[in-house]
Amino acid sequence: MATRIDVSGLTAFYGKFKAVSDIHFSIEPKNVTAFIGPSGCGKSTVLRTLNRMHEVLPGARVEGRVLMDGEDLYGPGVDPVNVRRAVGMVFQRPNPFPTMSIYENVVAGLKLNGTRKKSLLDERAEESLRGANLWEEVKDRLGRPGAGLSGGQQQRLCIARAIAVEPQVLLMDEPCSALDPISTLAIEDLIVKLKSSYTIVIVTHNMQQASRVSDTTAFFTLDKTGDPGRLVEMDKTEKIFSNPAQKRTEEYITGRFG
């Protein structure tokens, strides 16, 4: 299931604006990678290039290469729809489909992939909800609207929805920023648990969170507003938070900058 990711020469634009410039990095399979950095440094943009969601916005485009197990996501003839089926994504704000029940939300991706068999859907729904540590809380009300859950439960529902299609990679864009501390803890536990099955990339503003859940940390920054973001350094999380190689990283993690 898990996949390695190699990014080289990645530059992303919003119209004429260059959001990130010339990014290179590699991510090992079954590894949690945290993207940290000040607002506007392009960490979310880089994340969204990993499942071709960046180009969904009008005028947005990408240059460079993103290889997943050696295959370029931006190669000719690659359908972004297939890329997104293989790379799951969880967003900043929980976004269950408001018109669907809890059950329908979880199996939405499977149905898109053409799975129709009720027994298989039921099985995957329970597995995914258990995987997202939500099953016990919702098993008696699977037919209720997904939007009726609490914020933390909604976010776990979105994680269940993402893992139901058994993606190779799971991307998380500040998944806890709209949640209270207890729900945040539940999601962090879940990330550590999911690591055994998935390659996970998480964008976070919370450096404690990065140090708690990730194996590798990448620090992005921008020199001044209007300049493109860039990757300063990427290393083992303990090293970034104890003895970073770059002065900018140290300034950021000690709170003197950003």
Query: Which parts of this chain interact with other proteins (CB under 8 A)?
Result: 51, 53, 56, 58, 81-86, 88-89, 91, 93, 95-101, 108-109, 112-113, 145, 147-148, 158, 161-162, 165
Shorter beta-carbon distance to other proteins: residue 112 or 245:
112
CB of 167 to other proteins, least distance (A): 9
CB of 81 to other proteins, least distance (A): 5
Residue 48 CA: distances (Å) to CA of 52, 54, 116, 142, 187: 6, 5, 29, 30, 20
Per-residue b/e over 205-216, b at no fewer than 16 CB within 10 Å?
Answer: ebbebbbbbbbb
CB of 232 to other proteins, least distance (A): 28
Contact 151, 181 (CB under 8 A): no
CB of 224 to other proteins, least distance (A): 28
95 CB-near residues (< 8 Å, 6+ apart): 158
Contact 206, 176 (CB under 8 A): yes
Sheet of 216-221, strands arranged across: 87-90, 169-173, 199-203, 32-36, 216-221, 230-236
Shorter beta-carbon distance to other proteins: residue 23 or 158:
158
DSSP structure string for 150-187? -HHHHHHHHHHHHHHT--SEEEEESTTTTS-HHHHHHH
CA distance 41 to 49: 14
Contact 244, 233 (CB under 8 A): yes
CB of 58 to other proteins, least distance (A): 6
Residue 114 identity (one-letter amino acid): G
CA distance 201 to 192: 12
CB of 219 to other proteins, least distance (A): 25
Shorter beta-carbon distance to other proteins: residue 171 or 207:
171
Shorter beta-carbon distance to other proteins: residue 164 or 253:
164
Shorter beta-carbon distance to other proteins: residue 46 or 53:
53
Which tokens go with 209?
A: 């969170």
CB of 141 to other proteins, least distance (A): 12
Shorter beta-carbon distance to other proteins: residue 75 or 151:
151
Shorter beta-carbon distance to other proteins: residue 67 or 108:
108
